[in-house]
């Protein structure tokens, strides 16, 4: 058993491998429906990540700064999926959350984007959200990540992988082929930060 200390100071004993989401469900299904991520020992993680040792835990919702950031980040990836569906062959770079929302850097290539296209993108996002595809973190090798994005023709993602590689070398990591920064959402893969970052499973309603 491991000890989970909640913000009010109470301690719950749970089996090793229990996730923050499991704990949220045990408290209240209503709470669980609103959980966007979890803060474990002051680090924001996917609420479905198994807990393996004694930790302090805060369940993050829209009312928390980190919860909002999680929602924005997930929304950016959803927007990227919508853009790729509507404009095949576009090149994607990064899609981080910002203070009051999110954005995604996109090279639209030969496409000309009009105001009406923004409405199409928003409609496609809503359509995709209704599919309720979970965002699932997947750890793959750097070589597999490179192969995927080379086949897809995503040159900016390849540049990001190389930039992550440089940062890992700076930290003197040993296994240079290990790359922890890919998520799946349906059939689509995308990158997240390779160092001290997690993938957020986001429930869209």
pLDDT in tens, 150-177: 888 888 888 887 776 555 444 334 333 4
Where residue 143 falls among pLDDT bands split at 50, 70, 90? confident
Contact in structure between 54 and 47 (CB atoms under 8 Å): no
In the chain, domain spans = 2-61, 65-205
C-alpha distances (whole Å) from 64 to each of 37, 110, 134, 145 are: 10, 40, 22, 33
Cα(18)–Cα(52) distance, integer angstroms: 8
The pairing of strands 55-60 and 2-5 is parallel
| 122-143 average pLDDT score | 81
CATH class as words, domain 65-205: alpha beta
Q: What is the pLDDT of residues 34-86, one digit of tens each?
A: 999 999 999 888 898 899 999 999 999 999 999 999 888 888 888 998 999 99
Span of 46-60, 85-99, 105-119, 175-189 with lowest mean pLDDT: 175-189
Provide the edge-to-edge strand list for the sheet that holds 55-60: 11-14, 2-5, 55-60, 37-40, 43-45
CATH of 2-61, one of 2.30.30.60, 3.10.20.30, 3.40.630.30, 3.90.79.10: 3.10.20.30
What is the b/e burial string over 30-57, where b = at least 16 CB atoms within 10 angstroms of the residue's CB?
Answer: eebeebbbbbbeeebbbbbbebeeebeb
Name the band, by pLDDT with cuts 50, 70 and 90, for residue 191. Answer: low
Find out whether 88 and 110 touch, Cβ atoms under 8 Å.
Answer: no
CA distance 120 to 106: 16
Instruction: Give me the pLDDT at residue 46, please.
Output: 85
Q: What is the mean pLDDT of residues 18-41?
A: 95
The confidence score (pLDDT) of residue 161 equals: 78
- Give residue 105's pLDDT band: very low, low, confident or very high (50, 70, 90): very high
Confirm whether 2-61 and 65-205 share one CATH topology.
no
Q: What mean pLDDT is reported for the chain?
A: 80
Strands ordered across the beta sheet of 178-185: 136-141, 178-185, 188-191
Query: Which pLDDT value is given to residue 171?
Result: 37
For the chain, the residue count is 205
């Amino acid at each position: 058993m491991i000890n989970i200390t909640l913000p009010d100071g109470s301690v719950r004993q749970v089996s090793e491998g229990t996730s923050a989401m499991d704990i949220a469900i045990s408290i209240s299904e209503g709470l669980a429906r609103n959980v966007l991520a979890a803060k474990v020992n002051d680090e924001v993680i996917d609420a479905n990540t198994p807990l393996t040792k004694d930790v302090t835990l805060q369940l993050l919702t829209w009312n928390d700064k980190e919860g909002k950031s999680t929602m924005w980040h997930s929304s950016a990836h959803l927007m990227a999926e919508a853009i790729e569906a509507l404009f095949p062959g576009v090149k994607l770079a990064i899609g981080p959350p910002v203070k009051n929302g999110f954005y995604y850097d996109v090279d639209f290539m030969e496409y000309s984007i009009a105001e009406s296209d923004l409405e199409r993108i928003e409609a496609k996002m809503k359509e995709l959200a209704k599919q309720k595809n979970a965002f699932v973190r997947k750890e793959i090798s750097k070589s597999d990540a490179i192969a995927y994005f080379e086949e897809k023709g995503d040159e900016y993602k390849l540049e990001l992988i190389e930039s992550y590689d440089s940062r890992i070398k700076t930290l003197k990591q040993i296994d240079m082929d290990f790359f922890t920064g890919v998520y799946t959402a349906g059939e689509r893969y995308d990158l997240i930060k390779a160092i001290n970052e997690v993938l957020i499973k986001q429930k869209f309603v």
